[in-house]
Each structure stands twice: as structure tokens, then as C-alpha cells.
Amino acid sequence: MRRSVVTVGAIALAAGLATPMGVAARSTAPSLEAAVVNRGVVELETAGSAGISVRIAEDLTRLVNDGATRRLVPIIGAGSLHNLIDLKLLRGVDMALLQTDVLDYAREQKVLPGSETNITYVTKLYNEEFHLLARPEIASIADLLNKKVNVDLRDSGTAVMASHLFDRLKLQATLTNDAPEAALAKLRNGDIAALALVSGKPAPLLRDLRREDGLHLLALPFDASIGSSYLPARLTSADYPELLSQSGSVDTVAVGTVLVVANLQQATERDHNVANFVEAFFTSFQTLLEPGYHPKWQEVNLAAELPGWRRYPAAEQWLQRNMQVAKPPNAADLETMFARFVDERRQLTGGKPMTSEEKSDIFQQYQRWQTGQAR
């Protein structure tokens, strides 16, 4: 009997069925490794690579990842509105970068009822500019009447913003929904008349374009009637030196980007990880203003508010403890710089000079938008 037992044991060892001490020790290793790898992980969903949100996520990764207690893992999403849906319904997604007008759209259209109470924001970030790239024969947005204009994928922030703008401007164009890279090829081939793209400048998709390509950026002048989610902006040769002449510029509009957090009340560990991320992000924020990080970080005011939405508790608590660090610039100095900018801009474009009262009124409108009081 003993002999048969030994024989069976030998066969089991040969077949890999037995678990001697060394094998058993190795079998527990993956679970220990998994615990280490997943420690402090926060998943952040971004838009596609045609814009700058992937680069912004990379900057945040460099800033907060410490190799032991914190790790940010970026995920490329299908579009700003779709990212909002993922934030509420998809397992594992802790945060997302979204346009502020997409949040307003989702609330107005009741895309995700109750989002105002379930989703919170960490901070408003930078502004993203609306780019409208057109073929040579399109001289102005009026020439896009009944023409094909690509607005990115259906759930993208570009699609939401373009639809809103074109509706307010009463521009009847045929909107298509190809990915930006595919749309650029169709634009060159003449299959579409223009493509729209919402991205912080300079947009990666447009960075290598040249005037010799025949494509050009269309102006989209700011009009207060388009809504308080938007503000005036300008694209210059400093942004696109190969696409615009040295003295050239194009007026457009911009929309804010916000970092939002999923409802993690029932996920204690994930909530702790996000709070840990916020502490590291806010505390080390000044590092993002140094060379080597995206210049859009220069636009960020951590204390800026998002009207109608609640701030993530850990972010609110940090701001209360460090308000002097996060406070906005002096309003009087900002207004002086703003007035100088308006004067130079009007002189450059040959426009009629504005009165001090007019400049002050515009600045106050902008300040209310920036601090989240305009609605």
C-alpha cells in the first residue's frame, strides 16, 4: 500500500498536480504583487489624443505617482458625454476630464438624472478653444450653409459644443461624426467642407499643418447670446506658426474643462485613493507651472467654482486649509491687464476704441464667468 501511495505521489508531481513548499510559496506571490500594484490606484478617463487631455493626464501622472502609495492610471474615453456616463455607470472609473458645457447639457437633457448630487468636481481647469478648420473655398462660416462639417464622434465634447454654437448662430450645416484623424483626411480629399475640434491650443491634430496645405482656420466671433458657458478666445501664429502668418490671428470661443469625481460613497477604498490624489495634486500644483508641463496649467485657478455642482469634499477641505495658496489673482491688476489687451486687440484689428465703461463691463462679465457666478 505504501508503495502505491508513493507511486501516485510521484505521478502527481510529474503532472504538476502536487503543491510542494516552493511551488506553494510562488503561488501566493501574484496576490501580494497585485495588492502592491493596485495600492492607491485612481483611474482617470480622458478624451482622445486629438486634443490635449491625454497630455494633461500624463502631467498629472508624473506629478502624483510616487511608486508606493499613489498611482494615476489614465484611460482614453469615447467622448466627453460618454465619459460622463462611464463616470456614473462603468466600474472602476474614478474621475474624468469633461467640458463644462457637457455637464450643463447632461443636466438640461436629463441624460443622467441626479448627476448634480452624485457627481462632484475637484476643480475647474484650463479653457479649450473651438477650432474650425476649412477648405480653401470656404471663406467664412456663412459658406458652410448646407455643407458637411465633421464634429467628431457623437458623444464627444466637440459634437455637443458645435451643435449648440451652430444652432445659436442659425448655421444649417450637415454634421458628420468621424474621428478627427479620419475627418482630416476627408477634409483634404474634399469629402467634407470643414472639421470642428474642441481642444486646448495648440491642438495636436493641427500642430503639423501648414498654410501650403490649403486648409485654414475660420473665425467664429464671440456673441454673448451663445450662453454663459463660453468666453471669447483667439488663435494666433504663436499657437500655430505653420498655419497662421506671423501677424495673423483668428477669433473664436472657448469652453472650460473640469475634473470631476464619481459617486464613491459606497467605495471607501477608492474614495480614500481619490482624496489622496487630490492632496498630492493641490499641494504640488506649483510644479505644474514649471517648464516641461503643458502651458495650459498656467490658466488654472484651483479655487475657481463650478456653479450648480458640488465640490469634492477632500478638495473643498484642502482649499479651506490653504486658501491663501489657492486664492485668485488681484482683481484690480487683472482688470488693468484686460483693458490693455482690449486696446491692443482693437488697434491690431482696426476696430473702434472702447470706452472704459465698456471694457469694465466686459471684464466683469468674464470675471463672473471665471468665478462661476454667471448663469
Q: Closest Cα partner for 307 from 238, 256, 237?
A: 256
pTM for the full model? 0.76
DSSP string, 350-371: TPPPPPHHHHHHHHHHHHHHHT
For CA atoms 178, 183, 127, 76, the dihedral sign is positive
Question: 51 burial class (0-12, 13-18, 19+ CB within 10 angstroms)?
Answer: buried
Question: 234 burial class (0-12, 13-18, 19+ CB within 10 angstroms)?
Answer: middle
Residue 242 has what pLDDT? Answer: 87
Measured CA angle at 200 (ends 323, 106), to 5 deg: 75
Q: What is the pLDDT along the chain (375 residues), one digit of tens a residue?
A: 444 443 433 333 334 434 444 444 455 555 767 777 888 899 999 998 889 999 999 999 999 999 888 999 999 988 888 889 899 888 899 999 999 999 888 888 877 776 666 789 999 999 999 999 999 999 999 999 999 999 999 889 999 999 999 999 899 999 999 999 999 999 999 999 999 999 999 999 998 898 888 899 999 988 878 878 899 999 999 999 989 887 789 999 999 999 999 988 877 899 999 999 999 999 999 999 999 999 999 999 999 999 888 999 999 999 999 976 555 555 665 676 677 677 666 665 667 778 877 777 787 777 666 555 444
Distance (Å, rounded) from C-alpha 239 to C-alpha 260? 28
Q: Name the amino acid, one letter, at 292.
A: G
Measured CA angle at 303 (ends 299, 308), to 5 deg: 105
| DSSP alpha helix (H) spans, the chain | 2-15, 21-27, 29-37, 53-64, 80-89, 100-108, 115-118, 157-168, 180-189, 268-283, 313-321, 323-326, 331-349, 356-370
Give Dmax (Cα) for the chain. 107
For CA atoms 152, 157, 161, 164, the dihedral sign is positive
- For the record, the C-alpha cell of 51 comes out as 486634443
Per the CB < 8 A criterion, the answer to whether 282 and 302 are in contact is yes
DSSP string, 311-343: BPHHHHHHHHHSHHHHPPPPHHHHHHHHHHHHH
Per the CB < 8 A criterion, the answer to whether 143 and 177 are in contact is no
